[in-house]
Structure 1
């Protein structure tokens, strides 16, 4: 046998290895995330191997992230009336969605931050439904951050859409700890989800945020009609960005939006995605976000926490109801998952 044919045979033999066996060696032992092709193989695993997958994902999370769970609360500073056409979002002013445009005042913002901190959360995210912030919004954010800091000991994050370099610099100067801007889905699927701006515009904002020294929070929504191949592509996109945090949302179809009639993901498919994303992103904060309530329920949520998730958003989301804060805190206590202390996030 020639050297070339021997190498081909070895490569073919390697391809025949079980993907979880490969992941155990590559991810658990070496801390190297799965690539798109490998992640696809995980997503294609039969349902009867779900428990095995989640156990491996949990082991990876414990090995490379530890047992602590980061808790975060979010609030919408400016709700509704967004000019963009993100097909999943009831805050778009282009759809017949039941969300009216509204602003929250500074005292209410501070009170929300106080209540979030009381839950044990270390992060409070100020969100606005906009393409990008104008001067009025940035002034409101600056005033809100100053007021919160005067009364609450909590890290402050923002999610204000696409940014210019000047705006990035302003937020960094305000002391914003982390900036959230989701890529939402795979690059190849993005035009089916949003048409009023590009995936590349979102990517540019994230690059500027990282270069300015803020932490990058970037995830998306699963169940928006993407294929398994595109879901694996999305995991690889995120891995190449190297975000500090990835919020995983599951589509909660909203009336009046183009995605209002899509089916909710099957629980096994959602949990398989949780495990796959953990294996693709072994060192990243992987956060439960919107849609887990209707997709997974209480039991499924616990399975995800024991299958790679190491952060949660508590309370309500921007336009949908979440679980009661106490329910999530009780769940973490039942699972013996300690909440990350504030000084561990500094």
Structure 2
């Protein structure tokens, strides 16, 4: 009854920090997420996304040689990771990838670039590709690092549906995983995009050493901003990065994180993205019954993912329609 009561309360009014921490305290017993908590999170998801599983996919439009030192990222130039780097792809190649995503049955597709702010020429290049792809019926998102107001307006006018910019973790913990730019700069970018009337996708990464308090604080900050599309990523330890020796989160802890975010943001589209295979393997059943409303399909930027056909089969097995 505790979890059902809090789920009803979460619909009536936002849960407070103490209530969310109580959820974690009561909801995890001997390292395992209580099934009643996960079930209540799924019921909350069904209230706002009945029978739905929202899909998206990404492609790396510019890879590697990043000047930032994010401890979890293989693309940082500060780490000894052997990955192929390439500058921003030409327009024909980017359009080809978008058309391929649309032909495969996907309706939402994102271009991701490594590094900080793009040059104005590269912003214009991505804007031109976006116009052509949206004219075909593809929903295009972008993850392009820091943006100024002019960049945001250019992308918005080109038809970009969402600008993606993760906050990653709480402001308290952020300096532990990145020193080359501040958490505040990420927050200001998200806030500026919302002020420019752009829709935003923003979430975080888990299993990088943060505490449950950091997870709760991240959820509350995203809620205060009004972000309604939230990708949850789980660390895949990559050789050559500072977090290479970290253990992958247990499935139970990952499920509890999903349930926490569903209770904190009942109406948000909670999308499970990077690290899903590392945590859950090929099985999606538990994940799809614990509060998640979206999945990223296909490969990630530097790690493999799951095919659209595999996701379709898993969604059908639990009675979900792909959106």
Tell me the distance in 2 between the aligned counterparts of 1:298 and 1:53.
23
Moved more, 157-166 or 168-177: 168-177
Partner of 2:270: 286
Question: Unaligned regions of 5+ residues in structure 2, if any?
Answer: none
1:106·1:147 contact (CA, 8 Å) conserved in 2?
A: no
After TM superposition, give the deviation of residue 37 of structure 1 in Å: 2.1
Structure 1 or 2, whichever has the larger Rg, is 1
Question: Unaligned regions of 5+ residues in structure 1, if any?
Answer: 1-17, 341-346
Partner of 2:167: 183
RMSD: 1.7
1:70·1:121 contact (CA, 8 Å) conserved in 2?
A: no
Partner of 1:165: 149
What SS does the aligned partner of 1:156 have?
Answer: strand
- Is 1:258 the counterpart of 2:229 in the alignment? no
Q: 2:307 aligns with which of 314, 324, 332?
A: 324
Partner of 1:15: none
After TM superposition, give the deviation of residue 48 of structure 1 in Å: 5.6
Per-residue CA shift, 1:51-89, capped at 9, x if unaligned? 111110111011123222211111111011111111110
Per-residue CA shift, 1:321-340, capped at 9, x if unaligned? 00122111111122111122
After TM superposition, give the deviation of residue 172 of structure 1 in Å: 1.5
Q: 1:134 aligns with which of 102, 119, 127?
A: 119
Relative distance call for 1:250 and 1:167 in structure 2 (3 A) is: same
Q: 1:240 aligns with which of 220, 224, 239?
A: 224
Tell me the distance in 1 between the aligned counterparts of 2:82 and 2:132.
31
Tell me the distance in 1 between the aligned counterparts of 2:104 and 2:170.
34
Moved more, 225-234 or 134-143: 134-143
Relative distance call for 1:326 and 1:36 in structure 2 (3 A) is: same
Per-residue CA shift, 1:137-182, capped at 9, x if unaligned? 21321232234245x3111110100111222122112221101000
TM-score in terms of structure 2 length: 0.93
Relative distance call for 1:48 and 1:91 in structure 2 (3 A) is: closer
1:67-78 residue pairs with structure 2 within 5 A? 67-78=51-62
After TM superposition, give the deviation of residue 226 of structure 1 in Å: 0.4
Q: Which runs of 4+ in 1 moved over 3 A?
A: none
Q: 1:335 aligns with which of 297, 318, 321?
A: 318
- Is 1:307 the counterpart of 2:307 in the alignment? no
1:62-211 residue pairs with structure 2 within 5 A? 62-103=46-87, 104-149=89-134, 152-211=136-195
After TM superposition, give the deviation of residue 287 of structure 1 in Å: 0.2
